[in-house]
Amino acid sequence: MRILTNLRLLQIIDSALLIILLGIIALLLWFSLSNVSHKAQQNQQQSATAMQEAYASFQQQVELETRIDAQREAYDTLEQEFFKFANNPNSDRSYLPVLNDLSDDLMLKYKQLLQAWPADADPQLREQFEEYTGIMANLTAELETALSPYQWQQLARDAHDTAIEARELMEELEAMDDTMAKQVMSAIQQSMDSNASNAEQMATRLATIQYRTLWIAALLITLLIISRTYFSGNFKQLIYSARHAQTTAEDAVKTKARFLATMSHEIRTPMNGVIGMTRLLMNTPMSKKQSEFVESIHLSGEHLLTVINDVLDFSKIEAGKLDLKREPLELRACIEDVFNLLTSKAMEKNLELAYAVGPSIPLFIEGDMVRLRQVLTNLLGNAIKFTEQGEITVFVMPHSHQGDEYELEFQINDTGAGIPADRVESIFEQFSQADNALTRRGEGTGLGLAISRRLVEMMDGRIWAESTLGVGSRFHFTIKTRKTEGKLKPFLHPDIPEIIGKRILIVENNPASHQALRDFCSGWGAITQACCTTSEAIALIATGSTYDIGLVDSNLPNASALDLGKYVRSRYSKQEFPLILIAPPNDAHPKDTVREIFNLYLTKPITRSRLFDSLMTVMGELNLVTVRPEQSRLKLGERLPLSILLAEDNPINQIVATSILEEMAYKAEIAENGRQAVDALRKKPFDVIFMDMQMPEMDGLEATRTIRAEFPPDRQPIIIAMTANAMESDKQECLNAGMNDYISKPILPEAIEAALQRSLASLDKQAEPA
Amino acid sequence: MKLLALETLQSLPSVILPRLIKMFSDTTPALLDEIRTHTQQGNWLDMAKAAHKLKGSCVSLGAEQMADICKDLQHKGEANDPTGVEGQVEALAALYPLTLNAMQSL
């Protein structure tokens, strides 16, 4: 955890540093380029303004020069015409209008010149020019009043002088205009120089930015490399630490698993020795006192073994080393197994055991039979332990159901003392017991319910309890499972031809047994009539109802089972209406009387197999059940023939395996060891090899490796390991060596058939066209 | 742990059971002798092989207690660990007649 925190911190620092450095680069570039851009914009504006001003000055200058030329031309024309008129002896007044027109033209040009007159020109110059032009115009007007040619000539001379003065002024104005033009040129030149200077400054600035950027980038890259190197080193160190920690943890787990496996043998084996030896000792002559001591040793040994098994189971679960199997299990058989195991303890207290499984629950479900049985044994064992009288019932019902998926709820009810409300919640904790007196008496480890809870949780379920003091307790647990197929025993088949249509009278007052009897008989195809009391049953028979078989509980109210039997026998013989008495082994009814009335005893607890056998026996048809639907089907070997080689050195195992295979219509060849198996395969191909792991000369693993290396793909058989080693690591070793599947010893028909079915599925898959 | 796991025997084809029990009674004394001899001589690996062989028979016939002792003897033999081996060999020898008797009384 600390390593992960450090890694995360380093990652955050590394990323932050990278972001900061990149941010600095971006900001520096942004500010530098913004400055350059602003200056470039300013220079461009200045240059444009200067150029516009220069252009305006140039236009004004051209305009002024044009106006001066026009004015000068007007002066020249007027002066020439004035002179011609004054000096021509033939001149007369009829020519005056021409001179007046020229004078008007002069004034027009004069006004146009004034419009273009420079604003900053000397005002005195303008006044003088206005004066001379006015004089010139007045001289033309004076011609109207002059009478003699002499006066005309005098006026012509004045006009000539005035024109000269005006021309001088215009030259002065032109000189001034030239000066202005030079100033404009100078301004343009300055603007151009300024532009060039700015461009040069800009280039220098950009070069500086480029240079600085290069240095800063180099600096930042260096910083990044240093930081990366630093962080990379730290990352490596942290990853190395994490790997080291992982390896250490894995080693610890392996060591713990090895320790558990070793402990399981080291403790259990001598304990078995102690118990075995004690049992031997019990068979030898001893005094009563000695027998009591040995019995005590034996019981203590058995108890110690239970405690050790509990502790080891709990440790395995805690270490995550307990794997649940997912194989077909027959739920009802599982409950009946537990009943068989606990019957003797229940009978010691005259407790009745009964169970009922919902009819919609499939016969076979997927799960771990051993572990489910362990949970049930624990809960039922507790129920028996804490119940002094009454009954223990088990109900299984579907909690939810979708397609083949089921969530089943188990209820284990007892009529015991109950659990105090404040302890109901905590009883599933380890080393917790509802009754501390048990611990003091040395009964139980306080781990049973904790183990059950863990196992149920591993089955995707939950466990809880409810209890009423003085009334009893009810333990619930759920498991998630799915419907599956399995090998049916004869009594598991629905609709048994010999039972179909048979009318069965059930007289049973215990609800669970009542329900179970109805479910079993109906499932086999019988027509059932169930009642809870003798009087109900007698009433049915008295009103003419007839039955093929009667199932009568021995523990009916008022001890009336015999009364019912006697009534039946008063009307029907044993052959006409067979009766079965369902009774505990220690049934108190007189045996002789029972034998007279009833055809058969059915010992409690009721299981399907015993009920089936009883029904068949009373019908006299037990031996006639010859054709079962399953038997009519072809055997696996007939349907799907395979060539099988059995590599096994133990002669007993050879017989067991070949016999099981023969039952399936397979004929297996035998190899005594791995080398013989390889040689056999060289001679002819085999579809499947059952390979023992440990054999003399060449073991199963080596033989498998040789086969996988030596033979071409079309000669490769399916190899199924057989071993008594139940460790997961052994299984992995087999698969790593190239084996396809794995079955544990003892070799059971179901395991062989399941392995062959899987092999066939895989062969089919290989044979399918791509 | 049961002396004899009935469910293992019941799962086997009933026709071969007498033959298997006969083979068990024929082969086990010799294997017990072999285990005992190798133990006395300290030939642990050979003892482990003999224990393994007997274990195979016991497992197949549901002789759980014998199989468990054989398994332990095999592990000890393979590990050259003589601790408690002699006692276990004696326990194994003592369990054998009980186990065989249980098989034969089926």
A469 and A539 belong to one structural domain: no
Q: How far is B14 from chain A (nearest CA, A)?
A: 10
Kind plus residue range of the DSSP H or E element containing A468: strand A463-468
Q: Is residue A235 part of a domain?
A: no
For residue A279, the surrounding DSSP H or E stretch is: helix A149-282
Chain B residues touching residue A692 (CB < 8 angstroms):
56
Quick one: A35 and A180 in the same domain?
yes
User: Which position has the token pair 């199989």?
Assistant: B67
Cross-chain CB nearest to B72 (options A269, A277, A280): A269
Q: What CATH number does residue A332 fall under?
A: 3.30.565.10
Contact B95 A276 (CB under 8 A): yes
Chain pair A-B, CB pairs under 8 angstroms: 95
Looking at the structure, do residues A602 and A640 belong to the same domain, yes or no? no
Closest Cβ opposite residue A652 in set B60, B67, B94:
B60
Judged by CB atoms closer than 8 Å, whether chains meet at A268 and B27 is answered as no
C-alpha A539, offset from chain centre: 64
pLDDT computed for residue A4 by the predictor:
57
**What pLDDT, on a 0 to 100 scale, did the predictor assign at position A435?**
52
Nearest-neighbour CA in chain A from B57: distance (Å):
6
Same domain, A467 and A572: no
A359 preceded by cis ω (within 30°)?
A: no
Determine the pLDDT at residue A438: 46
Pick the CATH number of B18-104 from 3.30.450.40, 3.40.50.720, 1.20.120.160, 3.40.50.300: 1.20.120.160
Question: Looking at residue A14, what is its pLDDT?
Answer: 77
CATH number of the domain residue A196 falls in: 1.20.120
Claim to verify: residue A481 and residue A541 sit in the same structural domain: no
Q: Is A281 on the interface with B (CB under 8 A)?
A: no
Query: Do residues A550 and A578 make contact, with C-beta atoms less than 8 angstroms apart?
Result: yes
Q: Report how far residue B98's alpha carbon sits from residue A283's, in angstroms, rounded to the nearest whole number.
A: 11
For A105, A326, A388, A660, B96, the CA distances from A60, given in Å and listed in that order, are 22, 108, 132, 126, 138
- Measured distance CA(A241)–CA(A238) in Å, rounded: 5
User: Shortest Cα distance from B97 to chain A (angstroms)?
Assistant: 10
Residues A33 and A114 in one domain: yes
Asked if the Cβ–Cβ distance from A656 to B91 is below 8 Å, we say: no
Domain match, A550 and A513 both = yes
Q: Which of A755, A745, A739 is nearest to A653 (CA)?
A: A745
Q: Which residue of A has its CA nearest to B20?
A: A652
- The DSSP symbol for A552 reads E
DSSP state of A488: P
The span from the first CA to the last CA of chain A, in angstroms, equals: 48
Does the structure show a pLDDT above 90 at B93?
A: yes
Domain presence at residue A672: yes
The reply to whether A580 and A455 lie within a common domain is: no
Residues A477 and A513 grouped into a single domain = no
Query: Looking at chain B from residue 80 to 99, which residues have their Cβ under 8 Å from any Cβ of chain A?
Result: 84, 87-88, 91, 94-95, 98
Q: Which helix (H) or strand (E) element contains residue A528?
A: strand A527-531
A694 touching chain B per CB within 8 A:
yes
Pairwise CA distance, residues B55 & B71, whole Å: 6
Per-run averaged pLDDT (10 residues), chain A, 770 residues: 66 81 82 80 81 81 87 88 82 81 88 84 84 86 76 84 87 82 79 81 83 83 82 81 86 72 68 74 75 79 77 74 83 85 80 87 89 91 90 92 92 90 79 51 66 91 91 94 79 75 90 86 89 90 89 84 90 88 81 84 80 80 38 63 89 87 87 93 90 89 92 88 74 86 82 79 51
Domain presence at residue A96? yes
* Interchain contact, A660 vs B13, CB within 8 Å: yes
Contact B1 A268 (CB under 8 A): yes
Q: Would you state the structure tokens that stand for residue A596, as one six-digit string?
A: 């007279």
Is A231 within the bounds of a domain? no
pLDDT at res. A625: 36
pLDDT at A491: 63
The Cα of A647 is separated from the nearest Cα of chain B by a number of Å equal to 13
Would you say residue A91 lies in a domain? yes
Q: Checking DSSP bridges between strand A472-482 and strand A405-414, what pairing results, if any?
A: antiparallel
Co-location of A477 and A509 in the same domain? no
Distances (CA, A) of A656 to A229, A690, A754, B18, B27: 67, 13, 16, 12, 15
- Structural tokens at position A57: 């000055």
| In a shared domain, residues A601 and A638 | no
Of residues A266, A649, A655, nearest to B20 (C-beta): A655
CATH value at residue A759 = 3.40.50.2300
Residue A439: the pLDDT is 44
Residue B25: per-residue pLDDT: 92
Please tell me the predicted confidence (pLDDT) of residue A258: 66
Is the model more confident about B44 or about A732?
B44
Upper half-sphere CA count for residue A553 (Cβ side, 13 Å)? 26
B62–chain A Cβ distance below 8 A for any pair: yes
- Cβ-based contacts of A745 with chain B (< 8 Å): 56, 59-60
In this structure, what token pair is assigned to residue A293?
């001591």
Contact check, Cβ <8 Å, A650/B67:
no
Mutate to test the interface with B, among A264, A269, A278, A695 (most CBs of B within 10 A): A269
Task: Say if residue A337 is in the same domain as residue A471.
Answer: yes
Instruction: Say how far apart CA A72 and CA A166 lie, in whole Å.
Output: 8
The whole-angstrom distance between A723's CA and the closest CA on chain B is: 9
Question: Which residue range is the domain that position A343 belongs to?
Answer: 327-486
